[in-house]
Structure 1
């Protein structure tokens, strides 16, 4: 016991800092997270990937995280004042999203989903910005290449030729800024592509987007979100396999044959006397030799503790992963409406924080800025004054996929009441659903005009929208009278709606 432990034992105070019998085996390390990741990071990532490939709960957790954090995509809505230029910019962006992936396997929003999966699995992912030539025929000469965590070796630490420090594959200048990443040219675990194995290339930091969700100050590299649950997931999988084998043996109705002892137990058996075993099939009758007896195997049942143990273990895994239990286990039976709603609200808070602090800030905004720069430079988009007013023209709202309502009618009525009370705007309500309010208003106006031209009206009787449309715009005196009539009509329709059973 060192002097600090002796002093702590003498003073007392915090049980968590004592070294008495109950905490004797609790030897926590004082190493920084960077040292821990350098020592264990590759093994944690490899085990996390193995579980996602082989464990149903692990793959369900990853897919649930990606579906809830990204969904159909986190999409930008430009804040340009000029409506025509804004619409042109949005059309150009939408056309480019289909060309964004350097591998050609998905679009920009698919890259977001892959990035969310990688950050959950490995704690980080790298996106390399790849400018293209004009002759490549892209809408905007830019593509994005996704690189997994293993492509930046953790052991790459030292001093660069220019005197900069290299820590875990990342090069820093004298004041601690990231200036470059030292990537492997080929994935170290891909034996199908042995060329240039082990060769490292230096890529400027301006051409790399590092998406990471750090958990401690000064952290350089990511750690898998599965890390706190890896041991329990693996052991629970083994336990399930053992129970499955137990049931398999019980279903076979195994029998064991007991033979009388030989006259000379020390004498070696001839080949023809060696027991060959008895193979049985359902309904089979086996003739035994004289003196042999049969005992039917009765393996122990798992009992009533199997399901409660599974449930509690999965709850611990759910808490470690930050995924609600129904999303992890696809078990919707154990929760009622109120409990499910509470869990969903908490989960959405976490997801929303991650969306804006990680996905939008680290991936979406840098990619959008580089895209707009190249769109202007290549002539695909004309924005007068872009060089001097770039920050304002880059401004955009990033709208995630809308959340589905637990109870659509109740939630919709509550939101309508908030808008009518002035607690939120229609613009905010529409943005929370993942849409642009100006675009929605244009679409609604176009639909209303088309309905009037065709003599149609699909609005609910007595709705405020119908009352507004009933007010014509001619001279002032007639407007006042007709407005009052329209208001009376709305009131009459409202009373009629209330009187209906």
Structure 2
């Protein structure tokens, strides 16, 4: 009876998952007991190493640019959802006119700021911007992530605290950021640097949340940093090996025991002028010369490099063909399937991260300032609703994709507004442009066909279908 009860208790506490088992196979494997603590400690080293690789490794640089062009492209454009059409058009036009003056440093426009912030989010894990005013207009100033003092951790009492430069109130809501006036380590930085408390509503903090309670962002390169570094070192070793092997190196041996070097000037370990193209060397009797054989890179080495590159692409979330530019082992079906999944990831990040953390706060601040200053009519509450128009995603097969969308619209499975928005366009602006084109064409007596003439193959196929319908 006791043995049966003990056996039953043992069954209840047995770890049946292989991943939770002990034993030799799991001995020495790393664990992450508390993810928030791990993020707190690893944020800085990950960002520094990712910055180096993104600046010096072509594969890492390509992955960064792939995410930036997919998430931002020519820019995510906010469009007003005001119920009054004239006011809505007024808001959209006024915002577009403001975009050129958005950057407080005057280096780019609002859409360029988006690209910079997304690039820093991918590499550093996060990006910051401070919202201010100049000449009664909204201005956005980008700051380095290290200026939000990561070393500032303090209890403020009454359950308030500062964690890595971010201040939280008793309910856990972000209320302020403690920002250094200059980045530590910059030339001519005035020391000591004292952080300034900036209200949270004046700060845009862009990062991808991964766990509840996360305070700062983690570099998107975290899963692949070590693999990229190892691959980079391996490639350097291979290049040096091939370079040395490909150089025509000659070695003279003398059976008499004397060393007779080649003619030339000796500089350290290098012999200058000893061997030149087309040179004929006459050797003394008893002397022999041997040349090195260049090493051959076999197919297995190339396959190893390609597999490693794919692992890195998967870890960064980018299709291998996009990140490496290598299309030698893909076909239409595989690239289409990978791009569909890639676009799902892109859309999730666009709407859940970039639009929510960057586009909406900027629009709310801009719209509020424009209404209160009297430059735009209406109320603040009516001007705040907006939707983000993301850049158009290019199709793998435009003809088939357009036909599928037209069928979906005619079948009531999607609206024309949704289809137009997926192309990064505003339907009202598009309709106005189409109407203006039509009016101009009518005034000039121009007639355009809405459908191209069928090809000979299409005519034959259509005749065959008609004949089949007539004689089933």
TM-score (norm 1): 0.82
Q: Distance in 1 between matches of 2:300 and 2:70?
A: 33
Pair 1:217 & 2:212 matched: yes
Match of 1:243 in 2: 238
Q: Distance in 1 between matches of 2:153 and 2:131?
A: 24
Q: Distance in 1 between matches of 2:336 and 2:270?
A: 61
Q: CA RMSD in A?
A: 2.9
Alignment of 1:146-161 (within 5 A): 146-160=142-156
Deviations 1:386-440 (A, max 9, x none): 15xx0x4311121101111111111111111111112112111111111111221
Match of 2:6 in 1: none
Aligned length: 443
Match of 1:252 in 2: 247
Instruction: Label 1:217 to 1:289 Cα distance change in 2 as closer, same or farther (>3 A).
Output: farther
Pair 1:309 & 2:304 matched: yes
Aligned counterpart in structure 1 of residue 322 of structure 2, from 323, 327, 335? 327
Instruction: Label 1:379 to 1:304 Cα distance change in 2 as closer, same or farther (>3 A).
Output: same
Pair 1:367 & 2:357 matched: no
Q: Offset of 1:248 from its aligned partner?
A: 1.1
- Structure 1: runs of 5 or more not aligned: 1-6, 135-140, 264-271, 464-494
| Secondary structure in 1 matching 2:224 | helix
Match of 1:189 in 2: 185
Q: Offset of 1:178 from its aligned partner?
A: 1.3
Instruction: Label 1:461 to 1:115 Cα distance change in 2 as closer, same or farther (>3 A).
Output: closer
Q: Is the 2:152–2:162 contact (alpha carbons within 8 Å) kept by the matching residues of 1?
A: yes
Match of 2:405 in 1: 415
Q: Is the 1:8–1:18 contact (alpha carbons within 8 Å) kept by the matching residues of 2?
A: no
Q: Is the 1:73–1:109 contact (alpha carbons within 8 Å) kept by the matching residues of 2?
A: yes
Aligned counterpart in structure 2 of residue 397 of structure 1, from 378, 387, 395? 387
Aligned counterpart in structure 2 of residue 171 of structure 1, from 167, 178, 183? 167
Q: Distance in 1 between matches of 2:188 and 2:269?
A: 51
Q: Distance in 2 between matches of 1:499 and 1:350?
A: 44
Instruction: Label 1:39 to 1:101 Cα distance change in 2 as closer, same or farther (>3 A).
Output: same
Q: Distance in 2 between matches of 1:36 and 1:499?
A: 68
| Secondary structure in 2 matching 1:309 | helix
Match of 1:106 in 2: 108
Q: Distance in 1 between matches of 2:275 and 2:446?
A: 75
Q: Distance in 1 between matches of 2:460 and 2:12?
A: 79
Pair 1:233 & 2:228 matched: yes
| Secondary structure in 2 matching 1:187 | coil
| Secondary structure in 2 matching 1:36 | helix
Deviations 1:343-382 (A, max 9, x none): 0000000000100010011110011000011111222212
TM-score (norm 2): 0.87
Aligned counterpart in structure 2 of residue 201 of structure 1, from 196, 204, 211? 196
Q: Distance in 2 between matches of 1:105 and 1:211?
A: 20
Q: Distance in 1 between matches of 2:310 and 2:355?
A: 30
Q: Is the 1:9–1:18 contact (alpha carbons within 8 Å) kept by the matching residues of 2?
A: no
Q: Offset of 1:29 from its aligned partner?
A: 3.1
- Structure 2: runs of 5 or more not aligned: 1-9, 259-265, 454-458, 466-472
